[in-house]
Structure 1
Amino acid sequence: MADSTPAGYQRVAEAFRERITDGTWPTGHRLPSRAQLGAEFGEGENVIRKAQETLIAEGLLEGRPGAGTYVREPRPRLLMRRSPAPGTPPVPLAPAGIATWDAHSTAKTPAPENIAARLDIREGALCVRTEYEFLDTARRPVMTAVSWEPMAITGGTVVVLPDGGPFAGASVVDRMAHLDITVARASERPRPVQVDREQASKLGVAVGSLATWIERTFYDREDRPVETADLLIPADRWDIDYDITLTAPPA
C-alpha cells in the first residue's frame, strides 16, 4: 500500500499557507531565515526552500533578491492581447497595462546561431541586443524580453539603440518607419517553459515556475526579418489572448 504521508516540504508548505490565511503572516511580512524555520519545523534548509518555492509558484510568497522572502500582496491577473485587429500595426513588445520598463542595449553583439537563423543573417553578424524588464505600477517585474536587431538595418542611424537617442522607448514599428521600413507582419511561437535560477531572480518567482516563452519576429513588406525577440511571461500573472480573425470562403 502506498504511503500517503505528505513529504516534509508539503507539510511545511501547508503550515505556511495556514499562517498566511489566518493572518499570522500578513501581506508584506518577511519570513524568518531558512535556518530559523528549519529549526522550528525540524527540517533541513533544502526542505524549507522547496516549501517556499511551492508557495511562490502559487502566488502567496515572493522572493526579493538580496532581501529575503515575503508574503505577497494579491495581484490581479494581467491580460496580454497578442493579436491586433485587421488593418492595425503588429502587436508591440510591451503589452497594454505595463506601467514602465527598463532597457539596456548593447551594440555590435554577434548573433548566435539560433538568432541568426530567425533574422536570416549569417551567424556572428553584428546586432543590437536589448534586454527589457517590464514593471507593474509598484515597479515589480512582471515579464522580461530580449530583442535583437541587425545592425545592417539600423547601424549608423538615430534609431540604432532602442533605449537611446530621439526614438528611445519608441516601438519597433515606429523606429523602422523612420527608416522608411514598414513592418508588415509579426510571427509568434509560444511554448511552455520552467524558469531557471537567473530568470527566477529577475522575475521574483520560484525556480522551476511555469512561464510562457514567446519567440516573436517582425517582418517588413519584403518579408525580411527586421527584429526578433524572446518574451518570458510568468504563467501565474498573465492570461495570453490570441484573437484570430478568419476570412470566410467565397460563396
Structure 2
Amino acid sequence: MAAPAPYLAIAEALRERIAGGELAPGTRLPSVAELGREYGVSPSVGARAYSVLAQDGLVISRHGAGHYVRGPEPAELLVRRHRRLSEDSPFAQGAAEQGTEGTWRHESVTAAADARTAARLDVAEGDPVMRTEYVYLANGEPVQLATSWEPMAVTGQSMIVLPEAGPYAGVGVAARMRVIGIEVGEPVERVRARGATRAEAQQLGTNPTAPVLAIERTYYDQATGQPVETADIVMRGDRWVAIYGQAPRV
C-alpha cells in the first residue's frame, strides 16, 4: 500500500496531537516554514497540511498571525433585529443589550462606482461614491464585515461625508441622513446563506467555506425613492441569528 502524500501524513500527525490534548485549543502552531524544516518538506507542503486541518474544522488561519488550534465554539448567539430608525449606533446598541461590547474598525475612501454598485444606487457607472470597509467585533472577536457605499452627490458637500469622522461619527445611516434632511425607511435587504470566502474567513477568524449570512442592504430616501446607501454585510453563521417581527403585547 502506497504511503500517504507528505501533506496528508503531516496533517494526520498534527491531528493526533490535537486529539490527544498535546496541542490545546488556542495554541499557535508552527509556521509553514518551521513545519517544513521539522518534516523535511517545502513550506507549500506544510500549507497544504494546514489547509486540510482547516477544512476539517481543527485549525484556523488568522491573517498575518499564523495558524492556531481551533477552540470550542462560543455557545452564545448574537441576535440581529430590525432596530428603530431613531436609534444611533445600531450594532453597538444591540450588542450592549446582549451584554457584549460592540466595537468596529473602519476605513473610508472615495471611489468610482462599478457597474454593480451603480445599479444599486441608481447612479451612473463611474460616479463618485464614498466606500467604507468595516470589521465589527463583539468583545474583541470579529463577528461581522461590511462594505458600504454612499453617493457623493448626496453626502459630498455635507459634514456627514465621512461616516466615521466628524460630529456624527459612529451613528447609524438613518441618524446621519437625518442631519441633511433625508428620512429613510426600513432598509430593503436580500439575505442568503453561503460559505465564507478565503479573505472573509481570514478577517472573521474562521475557516474557508464556514457558513455566513450574506446581506445586500439598501436605504432609500422616503421622499424621492432615491437610494442613499447600499452595503454588503457578511455575518458569521455560527454567531448570529436573525429575528424579524414582534410578538403582540397583551
Normalised by the length of structure 1, the TM-score is 0.77
Q: Does the 8 Å contact 1:104/1:131 carry over to 2?
A: yes
Q: Write the mapping of 1:13-162 to structure 2, written as runs, cut at 5 A.
A: 13=11, 15-34=13-32, 37=35, 48-57=46-55, 59-76=57-74, 79-84=77-82, 88-89=84-85, 94=91, 96=95, 97=100, 99-107=102-110, 109-137=111-139, 139-162=140-163
Q: Does the 8 Å contact 2:90/2:171 carry over to 1?
A: no
Q: Does the 8 Å contact 2:24/2:69 carry over to 1?
A: yes
How far 1:56 sits from its partner (Å)? 3.4
**Secondary structure at 2:162's aligned position in 1?**
coil
How far 1:204 sits from its partner (Å)? 3.0
Q: Taking every aligned residue pair, what percent have the same amino acid on both sides?
A: 40
Q: Write the mapping of 1:197-212 to structure 2, written as runs, cut at 5 A.
A: 197-212=198-213
Q: Does the 8 Å contact 1:173/1:182 carry over to 2?
A: yes
Tell me the distance in 2 between the aligned counterparts of 1:178 and 1:58: 49
**Secondary structure at 1:185's aligned position in 2?**
coil
- Deviations along 1:31-85, one digit per CA (max 9) or x if unpaired, are 2233554677798755643443344355542222333211233341553544427
- Deviations along 1:137-184, one digit per CA (max 9) or x if unpaired, are 2x3422211000111111111111011111111111110111221121
Amino acid across the alignment from 1:129: R
Measured at CA, do residues 148 and 23 of structure 1 come closer, stay the same or move farther in structure 2, by a change above 3 Å?
same
Tell me the distance in 1 between the aligned counterparts of 2:236 and 2:81: 19
**Total equivalences in the alignment:** 239
Q: Which runs of 5+ in 1 are unaligned?
A: none
Q: Does the 8 Å contact 1:62/1:205 carry over to 2?
A: yes
Q: RMSD between aligned alpha carbons?
A: 3.4
1:179 to 2:180 alignment: yes
Measured at CA, do residues 18 and 246 of structure 1 come closer, stay the same or move farther in structure 2, by a change above 3 Å?
same
Tell me the distance in 2 between the aligned counterparts of 1:20 and 1:176: 51
Tell me the distance in 2 between the aligned counterparts of 1:13 and 1:98: 37
Normalised by the length of structure 2, the TM-score is 0.77
Measured at CA, do residues 13 and 98 of structure 1 come closer, stay the same or move farther in structure 2, by a change above 3 Å?
farther
Amino acid across the alignment from 1:33: S
Tell me the distance in 2 between the aligned counterparts of 1:234 and 1:47: 29
Tell me the distance in 1 between the aligned counterparts of 2:218 and 2:76: 23
**Secondary structure at 2:216's aligned position in 1?**
strand
**Secondary structure at 1:160's aligned position in 2?**
coil
Tell me the distance in 2 between the aligned counterparts of 1:168 and 1:57: 39
Tell me the distance in 2 between the aligned counterparts of 1:136 and 1:15: 34
Tell me the distance in 1 between the aligned counterparts of 2:52 and 2:232: 26
**Secondary structure at 1:211's aligned position in 2?**
strand
Tell me the distance in 1 between the aligned counterparts of 2:243 and 2:86: 13
